[in-house]
Amino acid sequence: MNHDRDARETRAGLYYSHPACLEHDPRVHSPGHPDTPERLVTLERVLAERDWLGWERRSAPAIEEHLLELAHTHAHVAGIRDLCEAGGGAIDADTFVGEPSYLAALHAAGGACEMTRALCAGEADVGFCGVRPSGHHAESDAAMGFCLFNNVAVAAAFAIAELGRRRVLVLDWDVHHGNGTAQIFRRRSDVLFASIHQTRLYPGTGPLEDSGEGEGEGYTLNLPVPPGSGEALWVSLLERVVLSAASDFKPDLILVSAGFDAHEADPLAECDLKTSSFAVMAALVRDFARAAGAPLGVVLEGGYNRRVLAECVCETLPALLGEGIPARVGQAPGDGTEQITDRALAHLGRYWPL
């Protein structure tokens, strides 16, 4: 019996959160806004009822402002701070802040960075950040789509600049394209960014043909799927495209922008993933991370049905630790999975041996 492997598979994951993340409430300026503190309240109540699924809870510290500039301009950071200090307001038609929002955003980005530091220091193999506001729409110089600072992008840049990591895989399985992360890294070859997202949905970016530019050409994998897409297609793209390219990329850190809004019951999108689908994807990424010897950090993004979000996270966390092999939903005849995957393979095969 391999006792080292057994010990690794039962090692606790690290769960990061902070009460400040509950103080950010866009409804102060936009009644009816879907990004509510109750998303996290419900999630953490359910986790507490289940004894946090054996995960070790840690506080998400506030990030030092200068570290935000690893992914954002100084002017952007100062602009968000100044707007919040002035009482907040609208940034765009979807994005609103109040006075507490800046501190919440510091703790969200700080949690992602502290999780990454702990993982790179060998304190755990897997981490999860239950933080908000989300981050993946935030570009280097712009907040948008409910996002102020790009938590995952800051953490990836921090790992490379401060923690000695050479290559980071960032996987975005939120139903909306991770335009901010793509923009921040589109000219870099030390970050492989992959986004599976629904077409004809906010923010309207992320076509297959956009593969980055300059030194970063080929290091952006945009994988749009049509409305109604289910587990078979998402898993096919993850296995045959993302993880296949990542095998050649050889990351020494893996970060996931984990939105749960591709679920069939989410009110803001039209995909058809089941609760168990996220556990399937988590298990695939977990197995890849173990084979690569790379730590795996997951950061919460979207998911706007509070009950479903809690259920999805409660299935995802055990899968990240290797507890059970989730059953897969089979491909239905004529569902388009093969054609869409083959098109992605044909385009991205010019950059990677897929």
pLDDT tens across 92-105, in order?
999 999 999 999 99
Whether 3 shows a pLDDT value over 90: the answer reads: no
Residue 3 lies in a domain: no
Position 9 pLDDT exceeds 70: no
The alpha carbon dihedral of 194, 252, 259, 7 has a sign of positive
What 3-state class would DSSP assign to 40?
Answer: helix
Give the strands of the sheet with 126-129, arranged side by side: 56-59, 14-17, 126-129, 296-300, 253-258, 168-172, 191-198, 220-225
Reading the block at residue 126, the tokens are 């897997």
pLDDT digits (tens, 9 = 90+) for 18-47: 999 999 999 999 999 999 999 999 999 999
Whether pLDDT at 1 is above 60:
no
Cα 243 to Cα 170, 211, 334, distances in angstroms: 11, 16, 24
pLDDT given at position 202: 98
- Residues 129-152 have a mean pLDDT of 98
Burial class (CB in 10 A: 0-12, 13-18, 19+), 146: buried
Residue 246 Cα distances to 152, 251, 254, 294, angstroms: 18, 7, 10, 12
Q: Which comes out higher in pLDDT, residue 55 or 329? A: 55
In this structure, is residue 49 part of a structural domain?
Answer: yes
Would you please indicate which residues are annotated as catalytic (active-site) residues?
Answer: 137
Q: Please, what sign has the CA dihedral across residues 62, 65, 66, 71?
A: positive
Per residue in 306-334, pLDDT tens? Answer: 999 999 999 999 999 998 777 787 777 66
Residue 6 lies in a domain: no
What is the domain range of residue 308? Answer: 12-323+330-348
Q: Whole-model pTM?
A: 0.96
Residue 4 domain-assigned?
no
pLDDT above 90 covers a percentage of the chain that reads 93
**What is the total count of domains within the chain?**
1
CA nearest neighbour of 166 among 249, 278, 108, 260: 249
Work out the pLDDT band at 288, boundaries 50, 70, 90.
very high
- So what's the pLDDT on residue 330? 72
Whether residue 193 lies inside any domain: the answer is yes
Note the pLDDT of residue 326. 75
* pLDDT mean across residues, the chain: 95
Q: Does position 10 have pLDDT exceeding 70, yes or no? A: no
pLDDT above 70 as % of the chain: 96
CATH number of domain containing 300: 3.40.800.20
Q: Find the mean pLDDT for residues 69-75.
A: 98
Q: What is the pLDDT of residue 333?
A: 64
- Please list the helix, strand and coil fractions of the chain in percent, rounded to the nearest 5, in that order: 45, 15, 40
In a domain, 316, yes or no: yes
Q: Distance between CA 181 and CA 234 in Å, rounded?
A: 20
Q: Give the per-residue pLDDT at 4.
A: 45
